């Protein structure tokens, strides 16, 4: 994260160019081996900061486009931050749904 932030404007400019030109390729995933309490290891795989930024950019573009085509119950998969918890929105939406109505998820 610190390395990415040190040259943030240049890195964001490069990432933007790569995304818009179709030249973006994800970095290799970073793997960490964490010891388990009972022995053995658990592998934790983490995206690089650059790839997480690209993922968020894609999400910010896709969610508004896709959410127009779905009923309110589908908002449970909407990852935008809203003050009302997602489970409450889902509960309210299910209460309004009619029997036999198709609701994409």
78-105 tens-digit pLDDT: 555 555 555 565 556 555 544 444 444 4
Mean pLDDT confidence for 1-9: 78
pLDDT attached to residue 39 = 93
Query: What's the pTM value of the predicted model, to 2 decimals?
Result: 0.57
Average pLDDT, the chain: 76
CA nearest neighbour of 61 among 16, 13, 29: 16
Q: How confident is the model at residue 9 (pLDDT cuts 50, 70, 90)?
A: confident
Residue 32's φ and ψ, nearest 5 degrees, are -120, 135
Please report which helix (H) or strand (E) contains residue 11, including its range: helix 8-21
Burial class of residue 73 (count of CB atoms within 10 Å of its CB; 0-12, 13-18, 19+): buried
For the chain, what are the domain ranges?
2-69, 72-100
């Amino acid at each position: 994260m610190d390395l990415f932030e040190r040259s943030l404007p240049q890195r964001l400019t490069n990432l933007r160019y790569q995304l818009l030109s179709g030249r973006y390729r994800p970095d290799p995933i970073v793997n960490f081996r964490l010891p388990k309490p009972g022995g053995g290891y658990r592998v934790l795989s983490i995206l690089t900061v650059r790839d997480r930024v690209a993922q968020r950019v894609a999400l910010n573009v896709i969610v508004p486009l896709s959410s127009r085509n779905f009923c309110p119950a589908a908002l449970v998969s909407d990852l935008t931050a809203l003050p009302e918890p997602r489970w409450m929105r889902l509960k309210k939406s299910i209460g309004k749904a009619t029997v036999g109505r198709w609701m994409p998820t």
